[in-house]
Structure 1
């Protein structure tokens, strides 16, 4: 019997060239599935029509997210129903907001609200963003000056949160939040906005900007798929854990009350 030389598990998988991009605020929009796949894995329902914008809705139907790349100005629209703490709210994020920053907000919609009081400025100050007051406005600017987060108050008393990024060619994108937007969601956005880690983009999808720094990396399709699947698996596991906790929670039934002094009869 002749011995055969082992040639591995199969043909070598060709690597593809990608780039790590920094700052992430100028990395371009990225793959929308980074947001939508996580939401679907978290139990959100998709109502997208063929050829139309992406539309997903929370399990309790209180939040609706749409992404429209076709119309102007397009981009992300996130709308929430009123609750005991906030009125109807909405957030509008431009089409070129990096999906990693969008996900900072949308991922937090799938999580229980923290008991700690939210602080929008804290994650920005931790990353040494420069903060300043300008009349009725309060602004935080990234160390390289390319991104900002601002609380704007108009003379008529109306207010809003406003964020964006710009390079040498002008404004790359903006994001606007109504004053009724829950503060923990605005903080989730500012946390992702201030994250100094680079993000990955495939070759040909890196914006042409002198203010962007890039590092070439080689990755295989299976590696990319594994990273994406890990994020989806984490969403499914968290959703399963929440649903299990709710289903095993003991339920108490209120005992019907009787008028004081009422006679009780035996059956």
Structure 2
């Protein structure tokens, strides 16, 4: 009797129908492994309980990430503890935030600071977003009107970053960042938010939206696995390089280590 192939990435030989979606902000949540596997390969600890929500912690235990789609309003929560001159901060993003946009922020959590001063609005201006200032609100809006980024001040309430996307059919999400969120992280988020590059979703996971444009593509599961693995290897290589430069003990396998098994 022939054994059935195990289900998962890269197990079938037949191509699957996928769609490239623009604008990316309306593509829906996507596969959370795009975020979690990169963090795990970067040395983050998975503290999730069996069959519970995703809970990950940075190597120095100062940053925590939660994902739970089963509570209201559900979605992602990322919080950083106070450290030195950096105050505690918090970011909350809806469950329909595309993982590729969220990864702009979470990938930046694993990378060293740039020598350049961050500019949250620069990526938006580069993509021709319009900007307005009114009653303590500085707002940038995408050319198609589906996405926005806002810095809101309304004393005595604390200032806050507010972002999101939405269409006429009710699809969308919102995100809030405390004003204490490090600027380079907010800039990493706006860079991913404003990117004109489409994101890919499988058939059956396409939002019903009059505001999106789709391009049909056929993709082998092995190709999907290879793309994900390349992202994981890049994270491992970055950790290896940092440990080599710092002369610290290695905390992750060599970048070409075999036997990695994809998790959530």
Q: Is TM more than 0.5 here?
A: yes
In structure 2, distance between residues paired with 1:161 and 1:94? 14
Report how far residue 244 of structure 1 moved.
1.1
8 Å CA contact retained: 1:21, 1:213: yes
Give the Cα–Cα distance (whole angstroms) in 1 for the partners of residues 146 and 248 of structure 2: 49
Q: Considering only CA atoms, is the larger Rg found in Structure 1 or Structure 2?
A: 1
CA distance in 2 between counterparts of 1:132 and 1:179 reads 19
Match of 1:26 in 2: 26
1:134: which partner in 2? 134
| Contact 2:147–2:164 (CA under 8 A) maintained in structure 1 | yes
CA contact (8 A) 2:169 2:208 kept: no
Q: Which runs of 4+ in 1 moved over 6 A?
A: none
CA distance in 1, matches of 2:51, 2:116: 42
3-state SS in 2 of match to 1:192: helix
Distance (Å, rounded) in 1 between the aligned partners of 2:113 and 2:131: 27
Once the two structures are superposed, what CA deviation does each residue of 1:153-189 show, in whole Å capped at 9, x if it has no partner?
A: 0131620000010100236100000011101100000
In the alignment, does 2:42 pair up with 1:42? yes
Is 1:121 the counterpart of 2:121 in the alignment?
yes
User: Helix, strand or coil for the counterpart of 1:158?
Assistant: strand
Which residue of 2 is the match for residue 9 of structure 1? none
Cα deviation, 1:101-136, whole Å, max 9, x if unaligned, reads 000000000000112111000000000000110121
Where in structure 2 are the equivalents of 1:1-267 lying within 5 Å? 13-156=13-156, 158-170=158-170, 172-247=172-247
TM-score by length of 2: 0.88
Deviation at 1:248, TM superposition (A): 6.6
Pair 1:205–1:171, CA change in 2 (3 A):
closer
Q: Kindly state the Cα deviation for residue 219 of structure 1 after the two structures are TM-superposed.
A: 0.7
RMSD over equivalenced CA pairs, Å: 1.4
Structure 1, unmatched stretches of 5+, are 1-11, 250-267
**CA distance in 2 between partners of 1:156 and 1:129 (Å):** 29
Unaligned runs of 5+ in 2: 1-11, 250-264
Q: Deviations over 1:235-265 (max 9, x none)?
A: 000011101111179xxxxxxxxxxxxxxxx
* Matched-pair contact (CA < 8 Å) for 1:68–1:74: yes
- What residue is the counterpart of 2:255 in the other structure? none
Distance 2:248 2:207 in 1: 49
Distance, in Å, in 2 between the alignment partners of 1:172 and 1:219 is 26
